[in-house]
Amino acid sequence: MIMDHMIPLAIPNFEGNERKYVDDAVDQGWVSTGGAYITRLEKQMEEFLGVPEVAACQSGTSALHLSLIDIGVVPGDMVIVPTLTFIAAVNPVRYCYADPIFMDCDDSLCMDPVKLRRFLETECEKGESGQTIYRKTGQVVKAIVVVHVFGNLADMEQICDIAVAYGLKVVEDATEALGSRFISGRYAGRYAGTLGDYGAYSFNGNKIITTGGGGAVTAKDPEAVRHLRYLSTQAKDDPHYYIHHEIGYNYRMTNVQAALGVAQMEELPSFIERKQKGYALYEQLLAGFPNARLIPFREGTESNKWFYSLLIDRDKVKAPIREIISELETRKIQTRAIWGLIHEQRPYAGSTVYEMEKAPYYSERVINLPCSTQITEEEIRYVAETVKAVLG
């Protein structure tokens, strides 16, 4: 089989009411950070997630930053973060002039709770005020940022128990996991982003729903979400006379973006179903292939299966990842390597790093396969056949 067009990795899907709602927002003149579509999107997300309050904001990154501010992360504090993730999950720690502690992943690609507990047990101690102190530097450890990588849920039961034991706040980076949920255990029926103290979502162009840019934030305490919304609109205490009692940010979503989001939320259940069917077909077609396999999603969960991760057997496939990606591109298949590990990036040189083993292993062996919600069965079959040929 020869494909006559490029199969993209992940592109947005505008099959619903997107144009209708955007045109309506433009016709009304409400195009900036005020308007009915923002409130409507927030209500949709509240109903879908089963939470009392959601604040729409400018990006997933801004949602994370606002969460850390509300926690009270200040210069000199430390925040535990994964190294195997997109750098936007970690940069907000530095926006607060705090320092990251980089943690390894487990086989789900999410933060390893076993190493997390061991780090806190062996490298930290309780201070006089009950705070957790990193023994080596005397810094206060304030929070944990947990990323649900590629829509796969982290082990939240263990992580939340550890956080409670050490007085740490949990910020869930659910930017890739809108719609992923637990179906068994303590959190059965609960969605990614609603399990920790704060939850951040992203509507970037390649996410399962998109507003172009944009994001949203929720929290265990509804009052915290209202505070985040206040901060996101420049902390206006008297908007008529420009009185501000806190440092605010231009982090609010626009009404035009929200109009897109309202239409996308209407389609989210269908998008999740398509993602799950696409993964199942890849799984079937790649079953038994000795040189690579799809990474499974955590048992006891129902993932949105945002991205499909192919784990390459480096003992059998000697070609470098870059060479594999380039070869697939010549055959009209766009794939992507996993991120460069953040603790190895120049801005984070010299940071605290704890027992890195699996993150380097996976970073050298994983590529993501095309997974758009409108990908066809023919395209998936072509990708699977071509992957086998290139890696065979």
Give the model's confidence band at 257: pLDDT under 50 very low, under 70 low, under 90 confident, else very high: very high
Q: Which residue has the tokens 């949105």?
A: 304
* Per-residue model confidence (pLDDT) at position 284: 98
* Contact (Cβ atoms closer than 8 angstroms) between residue 250 and residue 195: no
At 225, list the tokens. Answer: 């979400």
* pLDDT tens-digit series, residues 187-216: 999 999 999 999 999 999 999 999 999 999
pLDDT of residue 29: 94
Q: What is the mean pLDDT of residues 65-88?
A: 98
C-alpha span between 326 and 311 (Å, rounded) = 17
Q: What is the pLDDT of residue 128?
A: 85
Q: What is the DSSP letter of 342?
A: G
Judged against a pLDDT cut of 90, whether residue 2 lies above it is answered with no
Residues in the chain: 392
Residue in 193, 195, 117 with CA at minimum distance from that of residue 156: 195
Name 5's Cβ contacts closer than 8 Å, sequence gap at least 6: 332
Q: Are 361 and 106 in contact (CB under 8 A)?
A: no
* Model confidence pLDDT, tens digit, residues 42-61: 999 999 999 999 999 999 99
The tens digit of pLDDT for each residue in 263-300 reads 999 999 999 999 999 999 999 999 999 999 999 999 99
pLDDT band at 67 (very low <50, low <70, confident <90, very high): very high
**pTM for this structure?**
0.97
pLDDT value of position 252 = 97
pLDDT surpassing 90 at residue 115: yes
Dist. CA 96–CA 57, nearest whole Å = 18
Q: How confident is the model at residue 72 (pLDDT cuts 50, 70, 90)?
A: very high
Percent of the chain scoring above 70 in pLDDT: 100
State the pLDDT at residue 239.
85
pLDDT of 336 > 80? The answer is yes
DSSP string, 130-167: S-EEETTTTEEEEEEEEE-GGGPPP-HHHHHHHHHHHT
CB 139 within 8 A of CB 126: no
- Which amino acid is present at 67? S
Q: Which residue has the higher pLDDT, 70 or 4?
A: 70
pLDDT of residue 82: 98
Residue ranges and CATH numbers for the domains of the chain are 18-265 (3.40.640.10), 268-391 (3.90.1150.10)
Strands 99-103 and 352-353, how do they pair? parallel
Inform me whether the pLDDT recorded for 1 exceeds 80. no
* pLDDT value at residue 5: 95
- Note the pLDDT of residue 283: 98
Single out the residue of 164, 178, 163 nearest to residue 305, CA to CA: 178
Kindly state the average pLDDT of the residues 347-358: 98
